[in-house]
Amino acid sequence: MQGLAHQLIAGIATGGIYASVALALVMIYQSTHHLNFAQGEMATFSTYIALTLIQAGLPYWVAFAATLVISFGIGVFTERILLRPMHNASVLANVGVFIGLLLVFRNAMGWMFEYTIKSFPSPFESDTPLLGGLVSGHELGSTAVTLVVLGLVFVFFRYTKLGLAMRAAAFNASSSKLVGIRVGWMLALGWGLAATIGAIAGMMIAPVVFLEPNMMLGILLYAFAGALLGGIDNPGGAVIGGFAVGVIENLGGAYLVGTELKLTLALVIIICVLLVKPSGLFGRVVQSRV
């Protein structure tokens, strides 16, 4: 029982990371109908920036904040420079640009920071086991951070004028333009936010899995699975899907398939969702007319 409870809690902790990345993916998908295959690599890149800042002597939370600002900038910059000219291009061209971004980020990291595995500090280290040894300080802390982030994102989109404008731009670009919303900038803001959320996810998972250029590849896969499971056009659903995938992954890894086939589990989840309920648990069913 103790083991099961521990796996559940660990699943929720990693699920929070998947939920964040899934949310970042869905935010961009909603407004552009493209999946950012480079999302994971961008997050890893941000984590390297954080490590560089910490090694330069900055306190953890200062480096944390600075990384968020820099990541936001990278996200906005990427949208404005690279994706903007592709706005009306084919799906293939867009996917190609994402793959190009993935290649550039991944190999630039290898170039700048070397391929060796690095450890990343956690601000929540505690020697005393919490809740009778059920949960580590980092698990608790990172789950709290993730929940705060998700809460902030919800409040931002639900209760601020800018959030409303961004939702409007994603929902109906041409009508939004008519009421004076700068749709192009809303897209860039969305990219910035997605990059920021990804950076937080990267910094929270790095102490657990160690930092290397490949770090987010598997996590991106789980985030895809989570987003699909929850419904790829529903941010709330994607978050719930992310947590669910985290729990499924941990329980499945512990009791069913072992750690060796964890990535395959994500693939199986994706295929099952596509076979059984392609719109996901909370997604809108899209119907096309012929």
**Interface contacts to other proteins, rule CB under 8 A:** 33-35, 37, 82, 85-86, 89, 91-93, 95-97, 99-104, 106-108, 110-111, 115, 217-218, 221, 224-225, 228, 260-264, 266-267, 270-271, 274-275, 278, 288-290
Least Cα distance to 241 among 254, 231, 253 occurs for 231
Question: Quick one: 59 or 278, whose CB is closer to other proteins?
Answer: 278
Q: Decide: 181 and 168 in contact? Cβ < 8 Å.
A: yes
Question: Quick one: 102 or 247, whose CB is closer to other proteins?
Answer: 102
DSSP codes of every residue in 113-164: H-SS-B----TT--SSPBTTTTB-HHHHHHHHHHHHHHHHHHHHHHH-HHHH
For 17, other C-beta atoms within 10 Å of its C-beta total 28
Residue labelled with tokens 């295959």: 37
Q: How far is the CB of 222 from other proteins (least distance, A)?
A: 10
Question: Quick one: 95 or 164, whose CB is closer to other proteins?
Answer: 95
Q: How far is the CB of 73 from other proteins (least distance, A)?
A: 20
Query: Cα separations (Å) of 219 from 33, 121, 239?
Result: 21, 19, 14
Question: Quick one: 256 or 271, whose CB is closer to other proteins?
Answer: 271
**Structure tokens that stand for 108 in this block:** 């630039």
Q: How far is the CB of 246 from other proteins (least distance, A)?
A: 17
Question: Quick one: 13 or 225, whose CB is closer to other proteins?
Answer: 225
Question: Quick one: 65 or 103, whose CB is closer to other proteins?
Answer: 103
Question: Quick one: 177 or 262, whose CB is closer to other proteins?
Answer: 262
Q: How far is the CB of 186 from other proteins (least distance, A)?
A: 22
Q: How far is the CB of 249 from other proteins (least distance, A)?
A: 13
Q: Decide: 101 and 95 in contact? Cβ < 8 Å.
A: no
Alpha carbons 156 and 25: distance in angstroms, whole number = 17
Q: How far is the CB of 274 from other proteins (least distance, A)?
A: 4
Alpha carbons 267 and 271: distance in angstroms, whole number = 6
> Which residues, 6 or more positions from 158, have their beta carbon under 8 angstroms from its beta carbon?
none
**Structure tokens that stand for 257 in this block:** 């398939």
Q: How far is the CB of 250 from other proteins (least distance, A)?
A: 17
116, burial (CB in 10 Å: exposed 0-12, middle 13-18, buried 19+): exposed
Phi, psi of 135 (to 5 degrees): -140, 140
Question: Quick one: 175 or 264, whose CB is closer to other proteins?
Answer: 264
Q: How far is the CB of 7 from other proteins (least distance, A)?
A: 20
What is the number of residues in the chain?
Answer: 290
Q: Decide: 120 and 207 in contact? Cβ < 8 Å.
A: yes
